[in-house]
């Protein structure tokens, strides 16, 4: 407790890294806002970004023909940049919104009570203003896409709005997080084609299962406090059966991804990324200790690597199509 209070007096948050660039690059008055947006914890925007980039790469290499021009089988760099900026902005907006909704809960959980809102470093009005600014940044990004993609993007707001309340009425709040965090699996395809098909819908379904899996690992950090304050989660629901559930969730995600790849007729080498991702998932499950919070956090963060494996597999498939006269 003394360590948490010391960090709070220094303007730090108990569950945030101490040596991040935020604390040296920004003036101290902006630290609480950086912490609201989780700029010092980039794993969140990486996890929001991956379904976007996967979908963009899947769409670009869909039905690729042998010997195709490289530019025709790789995702648009402009779209990738837009998704990056949008993921950072909307992840920050989502975290700020979540903290506004959960201030009362965060004040009763040891890991989160030093966050800017429950600790009083930021007022609710200032947090709400910051939320609007980040959301407007996300809107500017969204408006760069075609009208169909804009409509698809706006629909995601329903899932975003519901998620912070899900832990109050269901044992499956991670499912609602999956609905919101996986939306990019639809966006990349919509931005490329101006429509949707079964392939991106399956990519979306697989991503939801992946999110439930990795966020269950994350939630094991707080399961004792969550049980005390009445917050529900799949970590509490699964308990000692977590590894078995992860096998089912991650296995289902891989199956959905594989069928999505097949329906999109992406070059076969793209499947190598899924094989590598499967090995990474198996290692997560094998090494997981649900009673070790540090290990849970490390494994949760390792999903950034998993995202790279799938994305680079799709990129590799596109490159293969451009240089090979046959698959």
Q: HEC profile for 25-93? A: HCCHHHHHHHHHCCCCCCHHHHHHHHHHHHHHHHHHHCCCCCCCCHHHHCCCHHHHHHHHHHHHHHHHH
Q: Tokens 């949707």 — which residue?
A: 196
Helix/strand/coil percentages in the chain, nearest 5: 75, 0, 25
> Above 50 in pLDDT, residue 178?
yes
Could you tell me the domains of the chain?
2-13+20-323 (1.10.357.140)
> Above 50 in pLDDT, residue 173?
yes
Confidence grade of residue 240 (pLDDT, cut at 50, 70, 90) = very high
> Above 80 in pLDDT, residue 4?
no
Whole-structure pTM value: 0.91
DSSP string, 103-132: HHHHTTSTTTTTSTTTTTSS-HHHHHHHHH
Q: What is the pLDDT of residues 91-137, one digit of tens each?
A: 999 999 999 998 888 887 777 788 889 988 999 999 999 999 999 99
Q: Give the integer Cα–Cα distance in Å for 217 and 286.
A: 12
pLDDT of residue 14: 62
Give the CA distances from residue 173 to residues 17, 27, 106, 166, 288, in Å, rounded to whole numbers and listed in that order: 26, 35, 16, 5, 21
* Nearest by Cα to 50 from 277, 321, 319: 277
pLDDT of residue 324: 74
């Amino acid at each position: 407790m003394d360590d948490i209070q010391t960090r709070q007096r220094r303007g730090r948050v108990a569950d945030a890294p101490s040596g991040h660039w935020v604390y040296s690059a920004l003036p101290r008055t902006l630290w609480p806002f950086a912490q609201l947006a989780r700029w010092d914890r980039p794993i969140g925007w990486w996890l929001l970004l991956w379904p976007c980039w996967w979908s963009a790469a899947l769409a670009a290499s869909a039905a690729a023909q042998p010997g195709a021009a490289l530019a025709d089988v790789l995702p648009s760099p402009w779209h990738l940049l837009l998704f990056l900026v949008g993921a950072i902005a909307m992840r920050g907006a989502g975290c700020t919104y979540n903290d506004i909704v959960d201030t009362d809960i965060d004040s009763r959980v040891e890991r989160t009570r030093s966050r800017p809102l429950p600790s009083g470093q930021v007022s609710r009005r200032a947090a709400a203003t910051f939320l609007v600014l980040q959301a407007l940044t996300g809107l500017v990004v969204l408006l760069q896409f075609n009208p169909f993609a804009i409509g698809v993007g706006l629909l995601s707001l329903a899932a975003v709005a519901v998620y912070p309340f899900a832990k109050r009425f269901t044992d499956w709040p991670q499912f609602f997080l999956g609905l919101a965090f996986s939306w990019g699996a639809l966006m990349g395809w919509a931005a490329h084609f101006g429509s949707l098909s079964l392939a991106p819908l399956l990519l979306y379904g697989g991503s939801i299962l992946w999110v439930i899996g990795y966020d269950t690992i994350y939630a094991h950090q707080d399961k004792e406090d969550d049980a005390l304050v009445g917050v529900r989660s799949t970590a509490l629901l699964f308990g000692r059966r977590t590894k078995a559930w992860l096998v089912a969730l991650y296995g289902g995600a891989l199956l959905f991804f594989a069928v999505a790849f097949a329906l999109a007729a992406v070059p076969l080498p793209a499947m190598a990324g899924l094989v590598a991702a499967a090995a990474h998932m198996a290692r997560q499950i094998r090494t997981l200790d649900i009673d070790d919070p540090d290990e849970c956090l490390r494994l949760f963060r390792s999903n950034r690597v998993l995202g790279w494996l799938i994305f680079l597999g799709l990129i590799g498939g596109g490159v293969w199509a451009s240089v090979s006269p046959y698959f």
